[in-house]
Structure 1
Amino acid sequence: MPSLRCPCGSGLPLDECCGRLHDGTATAATAEQLMRSRYSAFALGDPGYLLATWHSTTRPPVLELDPDVHWTGLDLLATTGGTLLSAEGTVEFRASYRVSGRTGAQHERSRFVREDGRWRYLDGVSVT
């Protein structure tokens, strides 16, 4: 049986891509990799991973995902910093979704910083 393709759009099987981050066998090396893995967690309905990768100063106490939202694609538009040696970075993306038969997209510029040596999502600003 073929492996499920990773929702992040890498073309790799999930277990060779974001799945390794989701199950804890790997950590994100860059802000972009964390952003991709967080998108995949949204697409797969994994609020635990999303909370675990959220910066402690901005993390909500709980996260309930809307089961009616189906994430359908990710386009990375720009990155700043966020490399292996960086302490912070931004990733601009457009995430497409479908809900109640309608399509839409979330266009955001997300900020990532290192906390305890690991990349964490700090916050994001919607881009119009």
Structure 2
Amino acid sequence: MNTITQTQWMLDTLKDQGQKITAPRTAIAALIAKRAGVFSPNEIIEEASGIDRVTVYRVLDLFELLDIIHPVLTQHGEKHYEVHGEKHHHHVVCTGCEKTSCIDCEVTRKRIKGFGDIHHSVVFTGLCDQCISFI
């Protein structure tokens, strides 16, 4: 999905869920769409000129609630995010430099009797090739 299409998908999701399309939400959606992979709230805050920190966090919380983005926890428990993709996957985080990579996972989410939409997050840790070369 290209940047414009991904931004529009995020805005359409907001609209479909009865949410207002505001200037900060539009700007943050565009910033997220430009990113490839995992991003931190601070990266968005730094790029979101004219949008205060609290607003950025509120928009990220809303996007997470609406499954536009999903959280990816770092090895230190910090919450980073990634756009909700079509393929189910997990993450591996380098314990040296904190580089995060995706791992494909063919498992499909099943419904468990007595539960609604089920989510999970799995993060593997290890050393990336660059960090392991320093050992």
After TM superposition, is the score higher than 0.5? no
Q: Scaled by the length of structure 2, what TM-score is found?
A: 0.31
More strand by share: 1
Question: In proportion to residue count, which structure has more helix?
Answer: 2
Q: Which has the larger radius of gyration?
A: 2
